[in-house]
Amino acid sequence: MSHLLAISVGPVQEFIAAARRTRDLWFGSLLLSEISRAVAESVQGQGGRLIFPASLDAKNVANVILTELDAGDPKDVAAIAKKAARSRWRDFADETRSKASDVIRLDIWNDQVDDVIEFYASWVLRSDDYERDRARVMRLMDGRKNCKDFLPALGYAGVPKSSLDGQRESVLRSPADWPSRFRPRLRIRDGEQLDVVGLVKRIAEGTRPYPSVARVAADPWVRGNETRLTEVISACERLGDQVIRPLNTDRFPRFAAFPFEGTAVYLSRHHELNQETKATADDLRTLRDSLARLPQPEPYLAVLVADGDKVGKAISQFNSPDDHREFSQALAGFGIEAQTIVDKHNGVLVYTGGDDVLAFLPVDKCLGCARKLHDKFAEVLRKYESLTLSIGLALGHFMENLEDLLQYGRAAEKAAKQPDRDGLAVHLHKRGSSPVKVRARWTENSPPDERIIGYANQIRDDVIPSKLPYDLRKLADLYDHWPPDTAADALRQDVLRVIRAKQPRLGRGYLQRIEDALRASVTDARSLRRFAEELLIARQIATSSRQVGKSPAPAGEVAV
């Protein structure tokens, strides 16, 4: 008898969402992918024909595996696959235990380590209707997940919970009992605690740091000051990798100009180095002196979250496993392309699971990266005409909690899909201010990314004054309740008056173009507010671009 078998692996929350550092986030994603790959390999080794993923060559394997079984009992196949999942997890856990045995409470570790993997399986007998079979097996999977296994909790009185998600007790001994090398190695802050999953994410497969949000935020500054960083780099090297951790430039060659953790270049964050490594102010003085001779790096970065539109609907209409398998292969191809695109834009890809992408990017390159991803998705999946890619970009301060930055990015991605699909949403989260949010469809006559980049170039070139958007937003508030038939002319006159009063000398040659564009596009308070908010986002991009120090791109036409 032939079956359709679906398997879901977790926990997604603990592996991916619970993170304080980018390494926690990245390695949690890698963990889940490698465990899922082991499951897919096990099923294939038992005669299963993979549908999703289409093959084991995929860069990342999603946590849901779908396969055809032409022979064998699916219950037995799933049981062996479950053992493979647990075995792969234990590979990582055992490596961590061997490296950190001096700081682990083994009693708690042993209680937790075998109670991590979530494994669910469902299967149906095959019929001649693949579309119906796939829908049935996924409904069964949803039902199985709702009947989650709840094992008895083993509490430990007086033992603190993990700082990452608060679900399990910490496996760490008291810091007073740690060998001196472990605090800088783990980058543990005072009071921070890690359970078995958190410690594996921090230690397994080496402890060289994954590029942090601070390093991504500082990247425009690094590119703009590359020829002036000799003293800074020498100071970091003298401090040693116990204080300033080097990046793996073989893996991240784009960060070779400053191959260190980004916190080092932000003077306001040097107290973290003191807390996490016990480096003193005297130890850091040479680094601080060399940084004082350079401009301060901007602290903002972009979180990119992308998601394919109507992918589930497309899958639900496949009539055969081969159709689904071909689609899975196309998604895997996009994942490979996404890695290349993010790398070329000096970004850090956390994961790409087919139509899902999560990445951190320098602010000056985020819109260019988003455009390339959107267009590449359309190219790779051109056979499936209804599919598009909605992308959210959140610009935030690197000192925000990583959990908050991720939430900002997911909120922007959700906004990109509303009220229709194929959208770009950019949300700016300035510290101490309300967020600025803009959203448009990629297919507008004046594409939103080109429009905002154009504004950024004009602000950087003093064609548009940097304080103009604040004045225009205040003006929009005044016209909120005006009747539409009387608002347009009065509003345009007021907007032109404000622009003329603010126009810098270098921008006067573009004044007529600006006025013509405004007359055509600004008709009410809503359209003016949108213009002002796009200018505010462009202002942040222009600030990042100035750090690079290159001549601004030609201002060109003004498009409102």
Q: What is the pLDDT of residues 231-268, one digit of tens each?
A: 999 999 999 887 888 888 888 999 999 999 899 999 98
For the chain, the average pLDDT equals 88
What confidence tens digit (pLDDT) does each residue in 53-81 have? Answer: 999 888 889 899 999 999 889 999 999 99
Q: How confident is the model at residue 555 (pLDDT cuts 50, 70, 90)?
A: very low
Helix, coil or strand: residue 354:
coil
Q: How far apart are CA 30 and CA 82, in angstroms?
A: 18
H or E segment at 215? helix 213-217
Q: How many helices (H) and strands (E) does the chain have?
A: 21, 10
Domains 3-146 and 298-443 share a fold: yes
CB 202 within 8 A of CB 24: yes
Of residues 37, 44, 117, the one with CA closest to residue 353: 37
For residues 438-442, average pLDDT: 95
pLDDT mean over 217-230? 96
Average pLDDT over residues 394-398: 97
Extract the tokens encoding 115: 């109670």
pLDDT at residue 435 tops 80: yes
Q: How many CB atoms lie within 10 A of CB 149?
A: 9
Q: Does domain 3-146 have CATH number 3.30.70.2220?
A: yes
Q: Is the pLDDT of residue 500 over 80?
A: no
What was the pLDDT predicted at 207?
62
Distance of CA 497 to the CA centre of its chain: 41
| 393 confidence band (pLDDT: 50, 70, 90) | very high
* pLDDT computed for residue 551 by the predictor: 41
Q: What is the DSSP letter of 149?
A: -
* H-run or E-run covering 396: strand 388-397
pLDDT band for 554, please (50, 70, 90 cuts): very low
Domain boundaries, the chain: 3-146, 219-292, 298-443, 455-560
Please report the pLDDT score of residue 478 as a whole number: 85
What are the tokens at 533?
């908010």
Chain centroid offset of residue 58 CA = 20
- By DSSP bridging, strand 423-429 and strand 388-397 are parallel
Task: Tell me what pLDDT residue 556 has.
Answer: 41
Residue 302, H or E segment: strand 300-309
298-443 classified as CATH 3.30.70.270: yes
- Identify whether the C-beta of residue 64 lies closer than 8 Å to the C-beta of residue 6: yes
Whole-angstrom Cα distance, residue 164 to residue 90?
21
Are 215 and 247 in contact by the 8 Å Cβ rule? The answer is yes
Query: What DSSP element (H or E) covers 49?
Result: strand 49-52
For β-strands 300-309 and 118-125, DSSP reports them as unpaired
557 pLDDT more than 60: no
pLDDT at 496 (0 to 100): 79
